[in-house]
């Protein structure tokens, strides 16, 4: 049986918040498509653009979960930064001015941090580096 720290609960809640964000954005896309009468070619097309348009979402979840095993506080903080960055990006996107989307770049930086935490956790799990926790 795997034993996670109590703080891993924050990692799980961050993942759930990410899901809520993606769902909210999907609903907004659906409403905009109806409002502006945008047709799509198939149900698969609808699903792809509504749910998976955030191309990095699966990577976000993976590295949030793996990084959080050994570094739950750092991973939670980076996960919250990713979520806030996606919100900033969406609000910038809604304005129609591409320059306004740049504020969402914080999500890319947070994702790079999550990749680092996930890889560092893998090294710790393999015993390649000392298992001292950073968070």
pLDDT digits 0-9 by tens, 14-41: 999 999 998 888 788 778 778 877 676 6
In-domain check, residue 44:
yes
In-domain check, residue 135:
no
Q: What is the pLDDT of residue 46?
A: 54
Q: What is the pLDDT of residue 52?
A: 46
Domain hosting 116: range is 8-126
Q: What is the pLDDT of residue 44?
A: 54
DSSP annotation of 90 reads H
Let me know: does 111 contact 59? Beta carbons within 8 Å.
yes
CATH of the domain at 92: 1.20.120.550
In-domain check, residue 120:
yes
Q: What are the phi and psi torsion angles at 103 (to 5°)?
A: -60, -25
Residues in the chain: 135
Q: What is the pLDDT of residue 48?
A: 52
Highest mean pLDDT among 24-28, 41-45, 129-133: 24-28
Task: Report how far residue 117's alpha carbon sits from residue 66's, in angstroms, rounded to the nearest whole number.
Answer: 8
pTM of the entire predicted model: 0.83
* 4 or 133: which leads in pLDDT: 4
Residue 60 pLDDT exceeds 90: yes
Please give the C-alpha separations between residue 8 and each of 3, 67, 69, 82, 101, in angstroms, as whole numbers. Answer: 10, 10, 7, 17, 31
In-domain check, residue 134:
no
Name the domain count of the chain.
Answer: 1
Residue 47 pLDDT exceeds 70: no
Provide the CB-side half-sphere exposure for 83 (13 A, CA).
Answer: 21
In-domain check, residue 131:
no
* 71-127 per-position pLDDT tens digit: 999 999 999 999 999 999 888 888 888 888 898 899 999 999 999 999 999 999 998
Q: Can you give 1-28 as a three-state secondary structure string?
A: CCCCCCCHHHHHHHHHHHHHHHHHHHHH
In-domain check, residue 98:
yes
* 7 or 54: which leads in pLDDT: 7
Q: What is the pLDDT of residue 53?
A: 56
């Amino acid at each position: 049986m795997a034993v996670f720290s109590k703080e891993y609960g924050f990692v799980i809640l961050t993942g759930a918040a990410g899901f809520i964000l993606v769902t909210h954005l999907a609903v907004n896309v659906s409403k905009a498509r109806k409002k502006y009468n945008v047709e799509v070619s198939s149900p698969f097309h609808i699903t792809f653009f509504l749910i998976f348009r955030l191309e990095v979402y699966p990577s976000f979840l993976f590295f949030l979960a793996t990084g959080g095993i050994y570094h739950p506080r750092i991973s939670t903080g980076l996960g919250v930064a990713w979520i806030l960055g996606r919100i900033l990006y969406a609000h910038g996107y809604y304005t129609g001015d591409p320059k306004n989307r740049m504020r969402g770049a914080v999500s890319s930086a947070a994702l790079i941090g999550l990749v680092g935490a996930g890889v560092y956790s893998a090294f710790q799990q393999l015993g390649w580096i000392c298992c001292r926790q950073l968070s």
